[in-house]
Structure 1
């Protein structure tokens, strides 16, 4: 994918179960924390049907940039230990609208506020 970066404005790929991503722009591989912050901002500004109580989950070692975005949104931030497994219950219950980690793992609720999958 990196070798093709000059042929596209944006390219992305996921792992087989779609909970990790890689994003490539003409300048190279995008920092996962930049994507997480942008995705959180976009999703919470464009999902008015999500409850105001829906929180954002991030791992302890993810960027403070995420903290600033969440504060600007007026949402609660929940920091969890490293490992995507710590987001599962919050995403499944709808407590978390988004869960993301520094290693490019992320998931979020569907447009209607329901989880994408219950297989984790």
Structure 2
């Protein structure tokens, strides 16, 4: 499977999952979560969508530049960041287990690295 296909598919599936989980939070959990946990769930959903779009950007960029290590790592770090950041916040909101908040910055760090690597990979456009 090409890098472009891999991350375009991952981005599309991640976006679908973000919509499903967002709808579940908005409709299925609305009456069950206190306001603070509902806000945490909303943050998880919002950032999930942004980074699903980021995965699509990785896949689209892979169509235009050689699939080097920076682009590959960017995609994998976007996925890891989604699991760690959004995943930990979804679970924190549903379970109330506050220790899960300690995992969240790891996901944020993965996302920062992913975006920096994506910028590095994009420098090859038009060469």
**TM-score under structure 2 length normalisation:** 0.30
Higher RCO by CA contacts (8 Å cutoff, separation 6 or greater): 2
Q: Which one has the bigger helix percentage?
A: 2
Q: Which one has the bigger strand percentage?
A: 1
